[in-house]
Amino acid sequence: MDSNYFFVNPSFLLGAARALDLGGTIAADSYLVSNTPEEADTRALASDWASVASDLAAAMIHESKAQKEAAVTA
């Protein structure tokens, strides 16, 4: 899950289309909607922890490579 999970990625074409969309049909499909505040909180918390796990995994891989390089040069 991306850290921008709850946000819309803006683009020029989408902005232009929204300006011409008088019925508001484009905006209705662009945002992640939750049925309850609890569901929104659960999704947000899951997204936050997924981001933490991703960062931790990247740091562990980086450190493992650094230790292997240090062992080779020592």
Distance CA(70)–CA(74), nearest Å, equals 6
Distance CA(9)–CA(29), nearest Å, equals 13
Distance CA(72)–CA(57), nearest Å, equals 23
Distance CA(66)–CA(28), nearest Å, equals 48
Distance CA(51)–CA(46), nearest Å, equals 9
pTM: predicted TM-score of the whole model, two decimal places: 0.60
Residue pLDDT, tens place only, 1-24: 555 666 667 788 888 888 888 887
Residue pLDDT, tens place only, 58-72: 999 999 999 999 998
* DSSP label of 15: H
